[in-house]
Structure 1
């Protein structure tokens, strides 16, 4: 099914050629300074330029360039895979999971809504769904030891952070930028976004809990039953054995872990860290914790190498996925797509315009899998367009949030999402089979909230 992504991209390219005339000419917007020094577009500057179709050489270089463009994400994937293999070699993950699993043994299902709520709250405040990459390696052994599977752990991490990011109660990268572009008071409409967060978190928690119960009663119903064979052997029978004991060096190593993870959160939220900075810290963390726990330098290097091997295939897929977007960018049709889709929304009846905006943002997310990047490209068009079609600007931003946010854990062009699947050992095709029913539900929820927002007076205040 991974190949279907690229077939869909090829079909969509042909559709764009037919509808936007990109074969004979290309169009572009002028780039200008936007909020917070970020590059935005001038919505009044859409002009036709000479077509520059891709050559055979350009197409041949698309995948290598995709690897180059996604190098930071690929490198991060290797590092986090190696670092957690070091932690596993020290046995401190197994010990920590054993303690936590015993505490939740009788009411294990309750850990799902608790963790989803906590992770979603963090993401909706600081706008960092990438923290799912930090959560997954810890959640997998915990969920497997409680009788669930890797898909449950992956869902807790990815769905919770995506929900928080989508609701964007205080998200500076999406809601903050969009409201600045639209001329609205920053973080206005707070109450409605809180309601959105509560509703989607409840739905997501129930969905994951339902799946987790099914897996626990029938392990073979798991989407990752065969992939989890080694993990079940390592973790699942842990609770039937005596509690694991740790030595002094392991105890000291465990005590240092909250410091490192706290430093990651602080760096992401206050220092603007992203994958490059987190990669450097995780290398340092793996070496220091490994030495404290009693591993030699040789064993630490061997653990990193083994971790690299486990995530190799997924890391390559990340680069290939990025190459799809590169082909579209080099063909100079991205701005044409944005303008054309925006024009389609303008032709819809006013009652459907908000929903059309959500669909437009959903499509564009495939090509621009960055919340802030998509806001800077689309909101300068959608904000004035909303005035014309009779949709409030606050509703247009809500449409952007729904179209952008839920798709972050669906499209394979999302770098952090694909890296998370690699770390979890879950294939994209199996994740889609698991997630698509919930995605459809969330699209329905989005339509309901957009309809409510559109008919509610004073949403721009």
Structure 2
């Protein structure tokens, strides 16, 4: 498997070539729900071609970095914050307490954490919080005798299951329903059932993996990865003094950090906060824990810089992934792709229309791996198309959710996902080997729920 830079650069070259082959067309943009810009499905028309020039191609990566600036800098800040917190010694002490608590039932930690991460994601719609969970999970999971794949899987699968079901998720469910003219968060019962099935399958699949590597560590997909060996020496093989407890300053720092976390959750769930606001709150969290625990300002600064250096590759990957969409947008062929996929679904029999929407949304997610971004581009087309195919608009929204969510953690153009793998030290090809069977199982589950919705007239 080539380096991920090579893969993404190759995809960028394909996108640039496509701007010379695919006809340029555009929809007009109008103001939609919440002031967001959405397409007008009745305004599709040809426009003058705008193929990618050599200068456009060589500047695609820096433009992608700028376009995905929120994710890039959120990645940097999470890396820096984690390193500062780790330097205070709080994580190591918490690690010992957790190992003691789960000494005889380690595997139960997997479903517990997945449910917690999934519930948060299905309520506030932040798959990207996996970037926060992974560096915190790594030392705990590896010290328990598992591997980095397990830590990354708990974070990515848990958040993605919750985000996909979107029981009360304003980012994908709420916005898509508003665009489709539905009552916000209506139909939550069926989505709650979907959430239970997705989380259960994800937890069982991950537990099956850890059971296998517990019996024979040589079956770990991370064997032979140099960074993995270093992490094992650091977190698992290292001698630690048992029975460590937080000192007075560390306890005060931890208590002061709790209100900051509470305000962050409140802001994301009720005030529309996202990465910029979360990054600011995490910096405040870092300063509180670092300084109150006893670090000097210079030690905080040095640790923060060290942490940012450790996630540099993940941040750059975000820009490389975004460069693909940048060229398709600049080449004026993104709307052509949307219209073509909609036409493809429109030619299907009514019974297969919902499944066609699922496939279409999954394919389009390769180009625009963003829940809100995909909603404002595809739902103005898919909602009226659902009326023509005798499919409820509620079902078309569910097809959008199922096409968007699971594919976010397998497509290499998903910037936050690639950054998560880089933070966890998991090679892309190793993750595909682990996750692809579960992705296919989730796809079958999603198709089954769509058929259930279609045949029962869910609305």
TM-score in same-fold range (> 0.5): yes
CA distance in 2 between partners of 1:370 and 1:219 (Å): 36
Secondary structure in 2 matching 1:366: coil
- Residues 316-327 of structure 1 correspond to what in structure 2 (within 5 A)? 316-327=316-327
Give the stretch that moved more between structures: 408-417 or 8-17. 8-17
Secondary structure in 2 matching 1:188: coil
CA shift, 1:42, in A, is 0.7
Give the stretch that moved more between structures: 379-388 or 263-272. 263-272
- Judge conservation of contact 1:102–1:239 (CA < 8 Å) in 2: no
- Judge conservation of contact 1:41–1:380 (CA < 8 Å) in 2: yes
CA distance in 1 between partners of 2:129 and 2:251 (Å): 25
Counterpart residue number, 2:178: 180
CA distance in 1 between partners of 2:183 and 2:290 (Å): 49
- Judge conservation of contact 1:189–1:394 (CA < 8 Å) in 2: yes
CA distance in 2 between partners of 1:305 and 1:11 (Å): 36
Secondary structure in 2 matching 1:147: coil
CA shift, 1:383, in A, is 1.0
Is the alpha carbon distance of 1:150 and 1:264 closer, same or farther for their aligned partners in structure 2, counting shifts above 3 Å?
farther
Whether 2:437 is the aligned partner of 1:429: answer no
CA distance in 2 between partners of 1:371 and 1:348 (Å): 25
Q: 1:81 aligns with which of 79, 85, 91?
A: 79
Q: Which runs of 4+ in 1 moved over 6 A?
A: none
CA distance in 1 between partners of 2:154 and 2:231 (Å): 18
Counterpart residue number, 1:345: 345
CA shift, 1:233, in A, is 2.3
Counterpart residue number, 1:4: 7
Unaligned runs of 5+ in 2: none
CA shift, 1:445, in A, is 1.2
Unaligned runs of 5+ in 1: none
Whether 2:452 is the aligned partner of 1:455: answer no
Counterpart residue number, 1:374: 374
Alpha-carbon deviations, 1:109-152, whole Å to 9, x = none?
A: 11111111121112112212122222222211111121112211
CA shift, 1:263, in A, is 2.9
Counterpart residue number, 1:266: 266
Whether 2:244 is the aligned partner of 1:244: answer yes
Counterpart residue number, 1:132: 130
CA shift, 1:210, in A, is 0.8
CA distance in 2 between partners of 1:71 and 1:182 (Å): 30
Number of aligned residues: 454
Is the alpha carbon distance of 1:239 and 1:359 closer, same or farther for their aligned partners in structure 2, counting shifts above 3 Å?
farther
Counterpart residue number, 1:234: 234
Whether 2:29 is the aligned partner of 1:31: answer yes
CA shift, 1:437, in A, is 1.4
Secondary structure in 2 matching 1:40: strand
- Residues 83-98 of structure 1 correspond to what in structure 2 (within 5 A)? 83-98=81-96
RMSD between superposed Cα atoms in Å: 2.0
- Judge conservation of contact 1:30–1:41 (CA < 8 Å) in 2: yes
Alpha-carbon deviations, 1:365-407, whole Å to 9, x = none?
A: 1222221221111111111111212322222111111101111
CA distance in 2 between partners of 1:452 and 1:290 (Å): 52
CA distance in 1 between partners of 2:12 and 2:388 (Å): 31
Whether 2:44 is the aligned partner of 1:46: answer yes
Counterpart residue number, 1:356: 356
Give the stretch that moved more between structures: 219-228 or 63-72. 219-228
